[in-house]
Structure 1
């Protein structure tokens, strides 16, 4: 049985709500895209016959983060929400390989090649927003537009050399965890909810943590009634960004495609605050439409209160969904389950 089928069976008894049961009806199909190290899993939200908006989640989350938002968004375009490598139901990177920031960019290019997309449209949260921004910076001619939810320009952190050295030293430890046949530590459902809710200043409300749990845990064989996280332990090391502030300011000058940046008021900047606004000032001059807006909420406001984000996103999509999407729709062999 495939990994998705196994996990689906394991979760059937828990009867968690999904976005398909919300008041905003929208169907999706589970899909799998081949990559050299295995596959990238995701949900393709209808329509299926045109090129979708590629939707990218944050670090250690999965595509379930968009389950409450995507049913509210423009029905004239589809959304392909993927699990990054090592996250959700996607394959892990080979043992001995670090999850570098470039690994996620490479994944985007593999998806783009497989789907035969001439250009890409993005919706990203946190790490996904940073990837959307960075891909637009690297390939401005390939990007229709980018929508970044509480994460945009790559962060420039202090003590970056020490951070890198510490991460590399810990890499062998977490690699051993990833390669081990031993079952990871297990927890009750309530404990897992707490662990998912707590990061980023209690970013996820407890009542919505199950949207991140469904692709993120499996039942313990050693401790009945408990569950363990299935994401790759190596993800705890971070993704090793490597841009300087001067580079980001310089290359923002060439980012002409439309970009929408939504900043949660209750979230941090994770770097010197002025770094973000300096680059934003450049984008306001160079982008055809730099739409920057604040919303009330935490880092996961799109999951907790999607209605605060949906109107802004829909308005932006309506203005800029002008590229031809006739080719690049779903390939039937991608479908894992309707």
Structure 2
């Protein structure tokens, strides 16, 4: 689970060869559809999506791997449906973050949503940029998280050629996803609910990343997971928020060993459906 599934392009070749990986662009990202006009992107949408996919593919058990927002969605699903999970992998994103002054944040989020909803509902083309400008916009967030040399990997499913400005490109993602969350779980509830996660859980915390909240909140929940989980495999890894993209070898070894220990479920029931149509007509961008 992630916003743009190409983020795993460099990591998966380092993982277990006897296991298949289904990567997903979350709604509003990559090649996935947008939500209808007027709809807000809640984290609960992603949890519903996981549950929908599990039922659609008839998977009795689900193994989840997510980065950042995808890691948080995977964590919440494990917290809500612990009986459905055999193991979960969270890369620099696990427990939902706690915001202070929720009322002020909520008011700002609603204002941003109305602005972006109007933009996404219209027929006006988004602002366009040169390829170099786009690479900078992808690389710079989260303290220059994505190395410039790998920024093109996240571009393929994320941009389209401008019809108004030849030679330039615009971002195809839904601008409403920039609104952020409206509400969050209270910390005491997250600490309590962490007891539900009894499945093996792998958590990687990038040393060059951020906690995006009071860091004590994270460690309070981690302490509960170390007691509740059959195998709470926590690691600090050298690198930025996108360590799995920049340095997949280092984190890949850790994840591979975790999967080797816990890939024990019978996966003969369910599977990829024949009626899934893969769009092979996406134009490859010269980037």
For this structure pair, what is the TM-score category when the shorter chain's length is used for normalisation?
over 0.9
1:235-280: CA deviation from partner (whole Å, max 9, x where unpaired): 1101334201000111111211000000100000000000000110
Partner of 1:185: 127
User: Out of 183, 193, 197, which is 1:255 matched to?
Assistant: 197
Q: TM-score, normalised by structure 2?
A: 0.95
Give 1:112-151 correspondences, 5 Å limit.
Answer: 112-151=54-93
Q: TM-score, normalised by structure 1?
A: 0.81
User: Out of 82, 92, 113, which is 2:24 matched to?
Assistant: 82
Name whichever structure is richer in strand by fraction. 1
1:184-227: CA deviation from partner (whole Å, max 9, x where unpaired): 00000000000000100000001101111000000001000000
Distance 1:292 1:223 in 2: 47
Partner of 1:310: 252
1:327 shift after superposition = 1.7
Distance 1:336 1:77 in 2: 20
Unaligned segments of structure 1, at least 5 residues: 1-55
1:117 shift after superposition = 1.3
**Are the counterparts in 2 of residues 155 and 241 from structure 1 also a CA contact under 8 Å?**
no
Unaligned segments of structure 2, at least 5 residues: 281-287
2:187 is aligned with 1:245: yes
Distance 1:241 1:75 in 2: 40
**Are the counterparts in 2 of residues 133 and 146 from structure 1 also a CA contact under 8 Å?**
yes
C-alpha change, 1:293 and 1:140, in structure 2 (3 Å) is: same
| Alignment root-mean-square deviation, CA | 1.0
Distance 1:204 1:112 in 2: 31
1:337 shift after superposition = 5.0
1:108 shift after superposition = 1.2
Aligned residues: 280
Distance 1:110 1:285 in 2: 30
Partner of 1:38: none
Distance 2:228 2:109 in 1: 36
**Are the counterparts in 1 of residues 59 and 271 from structure 2 also a CA contact under 8 Å?**
no
Give 1:16-95 correspondences, 5 Å limit.
Answer: 56-57=1-2, 61-95=3-37
The worse-fitting range, judged by mean Cα deviation, of 208-217 and 160-169 is 160-169
Partner of 1:20: none
Partner of 1:293: 235
Partner of 2:211: 269
